[in-house]
Amino acid sequence: MRNFKAVALASALLVTSTVVFAEDKTPCAEGHFYVGVGGGIDIPTQNVNSADKLGGAAEAQLGFAFSPEVAVQVQVDNQLEDATIAGVATSVYGLRPVAELKLSAPIDRFSPYLLAGAGANIQFGSAAGQSVSNTSFDAVGGLGAQYVLGGAAIYVEGKYNFAFVNNVPNVTTVQDIPVEAGVNFSL
């Protein structure tokens, strides 16, 4: 919970400072590169004991807006959580570099969007007293919304991650739902 509070506070400060000091460039304008950071929670789903706590999540992204409606971005998500997977207590740190297509429907400053992408799921952790690591395929789909304020856009998004794993007994896939908020800056 302490990690979640720290990520939430850092995101709030970043959003506030961006709104105050932002230039008048829009991150979703045609032909612009943008960078972003965010944080939130990671909700475990399939193969994970429902009594387990939520994990913390953070993300960084670099993208290019072809138009206000279409962008591509490389996003690196990470998560940190303690879980029970297939009856085995685990502590997991995951890193997910993913290439995503972002399709938006702008309405003035507000813009709902869909995300779809694929990449890698790199996990490090401990299970049953042993260190484990795993690199596998990750697919992601999600939706979100952003609101443009000066040269920045604040956003909130939820995604469904589907990852293959090979180092956890009796488990071939793991799914989770990161829900994050953050800010994008135009470059």
Q: Determine the Cα–Cα distance for residues 128 and 156; give it in Å rounded to an integer.
A: 35
Query: What residues of the chain score a pLDDT lower than 70?
Result: 1-28, 46-53, 81-90, 127-128, 166-171
Give the residue numbers spanning the domain of 12.
2-186
Diameter of the chain by CA atoms?
Answer: 53
pLDDT tens column, 147-161: 999 889 999 999 998
E strands in 66-129: 70-85, 88-104, 110-127
Look at the chain and report how many structural domains it folds into: 1
**Quick check: 30 and 67 in contact, CB under 8 A?**
yes
Note the pLDDT of residue 57.
Answer: 87
CATH of the domain at 28: 2.40.160.20
